[in-house]
A = this chain, B = another copy of it.
């Protein structure tokens, strides 16, 4: 999917605002993946017998999903303002870290938390790579 998104970004008449399209596509793909994986993890946590112990995890999942959704959409408009992009990607990175840290506590017991932490860490990395290039 990342290559397909990158191909799309390359068709933009105004280019990509001086940002490397591969890094941008990586971050968009990671954001939308993280959004749906977090949404699924919240639903899976809710189905667990020990849901009481997973409340904080569900909340961080939902916060992370909402922030990733907005970030993916803003980045998909490569003409967006760089100052806004930088600030939003930083918030997204931080939301991913917070979600990953909580999911990692439960990863040994719940496979969905392990998978979700992996998605969050991937999104964190693509955010950092994009921030370094802005």
Contacts and interface: CB of A to CB of B under 8 A. Distances in A.
Kindly report how many copies of this chain are found in the complex they form together: 4
Interface residues on A, range: 35 or more
Interface in A29-60: 29, 32-33, 35-37, 39-44, 46-48, 51-52, 55, 58-60
A91 interface: yes
Given A11-B112, A32-B32, A43 B74 contact: no
Contact of A59 (B40, B77, B94): B77
A45 B104 CA distance: 24
A81 to B, nearest CB: 6
Most interface-central of A8, A76, A80, A98 (chain B CB within 10 A): A8
Contacts of A58: 46
A72 B36 contact: yes
30 contacts: A1-B29, A4-B37, A4-B119, A5-B33, A5-B40, A8-B37, A11-B111, A11-B112, A12-B40, A12-B44, A12-B112, A13-B44, A13-B48, A32-B72, A35-B72, A40-B78, A42-B62, A42-B77, A43-B76, A43-B77, A43-B78, A46-B55, A47-B79, A51-B52, A51-B55, A63-B74, A70-B70, A81-B98, A84-B94, A88-B91
